[in-house]
Amino acid sequence: MATDPAADGDEAKRSAVEGIKDRSRWLRGTLADELARADSDHFGEEDKQLLKFHGSYQQEDRDARKARKAGVAGKHYMFMVRLKLPGGKMSGKQWLALDAIAGEHGNGTLRLTTRQSIQFHGIIKRYLRPAIQGMNAALISTLGACGDVNRNVIACPAPLNDEPRRTAQRLADAIAKHLAPRSNAYHDVWLNGEKLSPDAEQADGVEPIYGKVYLPRKFKTAFGLPHDNCVDVYANDLGFLAAIENGRTVGYNVLVGGGMGRTSGNRNTFPHLAQPLCFVEPDEVVATAEAVVKFFRDQGNRADRKRARLKYVINDWGIEKVREVFARDYLGKPVRLPRDLRVIGVDLHHGWQPQGNGKYFLGLSVENGRIKDEGPVRFRSGLRKIVEQFGPIVRITTQQDILLGDIDPANRPAINSLLNEYGIPRPENLSQVRKWQMACPAIPTCGLAITESERTLPGMISELEGALAELGLSEHQMSIRMTGCPNGCARPYNSDVGLVGRSGTKYTLFVGGSHLGDRLSFVLQDLVERDQIVPTLRKLLDRYKADRRSDEGFGDWCTRQGVESLCGVLGVPLPKPV
């Protein structure tokens, strides 16, 4: 078993990023020197890659790029900073600190993510250090929120008084701490060597789990519940699906090899759902997670980053070989075979709900995760007022929504009044399709985006709401997810409808995913113009209404019909590989 991937194989076979990590001095690079330069508004290529491990991406304002004339001005650089928030949880006091940072150093918005985190956009270089210092002062780190390490660990955020959710949250915290990078570089670069955040206690400059070059690629971990797969557990590199008996978690099926990303035109890249590897008891979870990470560290592809995710090892080897090598070389003992566990439900956790301890939580739908004040909807100001006045705990969902918990029942009327005052929509007043939409940020902040996503999907949903109303399907539950590129950050490949940016204003239309997240979708039509997406869906919905079985979801119906039949409905040829 290899333990030092940096020493394995021919140097020429490693990707450029592998070399950058190898030379980085445990993620330090020249970040501190570059931060001190007042004459530069961005980092060089090597430091730009290392910056990701510290929780930040260097970006360019693509709106400014379009507006400026060629040769008149250089690039307008800015940075996105992402938090590490296991299970998406924080106190009200922490939320207020983050809100202040968004106003002082960012673009005045907080972007909730599909992994229960928060992103701060529009930060310029000279504000990077004070922003990250402010986050750590609130006892929230950004270390490992990006980069080739274990990313934010996700778990059901609902603050319900039940043992399975409490256990999942506890284990999510344990894995996040155990798999956090241990290099002191983060504290040296951003915090003047001080250790403020909880994860910092184990930083010692050594990486006993990751090694010198860390992982081949990103690694995502989730805890799911069969009756509530709100975390999309099958879309993760490592998933723990709970086995619950008499209201208590007795163990988990370990799922490996999930991931959404693909590359256009490269048929060797594809989305993949995680497969059952073994069954473990709760006290074996952390050790098992470490063993899976080490397996990926050694067996992942370090030559081609497009095929460097764990899912390709699982796909290429087959689960039986993976199980054999994992048990023998990494876990060090035979594994128990996985149980027959299946996902049967998904909950958005919207509206007022009793927690089971005399308190309530309130789930609010946040359109594509963007907390902002815009026109009559003053979401950011309203949340600030509620948190200041009532001090709820705060939870973020993988649907990019927000939960406010531990609320006294007597305070519900006052909070409802504040929602009305600030124009914050109540979930019960929103259509199903709007509540189940999801989009990535895309343009203008993401350098990988090919098309619009967050800024264009809401208008498309408004148009689709009209079509659904005409068909009498307004209360129908249908998930629509849009991404500006094939990387699939909004998980479009296992939803009822997926829209993936292809070229300019054109998208690839995917259909047939499962609302439960346990089935991938398929390509129905490529290069669909943005203004033709809703008319195209309308044709399908007309036939769906006429042909569907009782309680059959749109994705289920599309799968039953098949691509040939659906292309016949649309009057288009069968799609070519994308």
73 Cβ partners below 8 Å, 6+ apart?
none
Chain center to CA of 480: 16
Q: For the chain, report the end-to-end CA distance as a whole number of angstroms.
A: 37
Residues in the chain: 578
82 is catalytic: yes
Q: Which residues contact 309 (CB under 8 A, 6 or more apart)?
A: 216, 217, 218, 237, 259, 261, 300
Q: Report which of 328, 506, 351 is spatially closest to residue 425, judged by C-alpha positions.
A: 351
Q: Which H helix or E strand runs over 437?
A: strand 437-439
Is residue 446 annotated as a catalytic residue, yes or no? Answer: yes
**What is the Cα–Cα distance from 543 to 539, expressed in whole angstroms?**
7
* Separation CA 341–CA 194 (nearest Å): 45
Catalytic option among 89, 151, 294, 491? 151
Selecting among 89, 217, 218, 297, the annotated active-site residue is 218
- Mark whether 489 is an active-site residue: yes
Catalytic residue (choose from 115, 165, 220, 294): 220
| 195 is annotated as an active-site residue | no
Tell me, what DSSP letter sits at residue 543?
H
Reported in sequence order, the residue ranges of 445-548 that DSSP labels E, i.e. its strands, are 480-483, 497-503, 506-511, 522-529
Given the residues 440, 491, 548, 558, the one annotated as active site = 440
As a dihedral over the C-alpha atoms of residue 445, residue 450, residue 455, residue 456, rounded to 10 degrees, the angle is 180
Specify the residue for token string 């087959």: 318
Among candidate residues 14, 82, 302, 384, the one labeled active-site is 82
- Residue pair 309/270 in contact (Cβ under 8 Å)? The answer is no
Collapsed DSSP state (helix, strand, coil) of residue 407:
strand
Residues paired with residue 503 on neighbouring β-strands, in sequence order: 506
Q: Is residue 218 annotated as part of the catalytic site, yes or no?
A: yes
CB of 279 closer than 8 Å to CB of 336: yes
d(CA 339, CA 254): 10
| Cβ 85 vs Cβ 96: under 8 Å | no
State yes or no: is 151 an active-site residue. Answer: yes
Strands of 248-256's sheet, edge to edge? 154-155, 221-224, 238-245, 248-256, 275-280
CB-based contacts of 415, cutoff 8 Å, min separation 6: 362, 386, 390, 404, 407
Distance, CA of 363 to CA of 407 (rounded, Å): 12
How far is 277 from 336, CA to CA, in rounded Å? Answer: 9
| Distance, C-alpha 60 to centroid of its chain | 21
CA dist., res. 7 & res. 398, Å (int)? 38
Catalytic residues: 82, 151, 218, 220, 440, 446, 485, 489
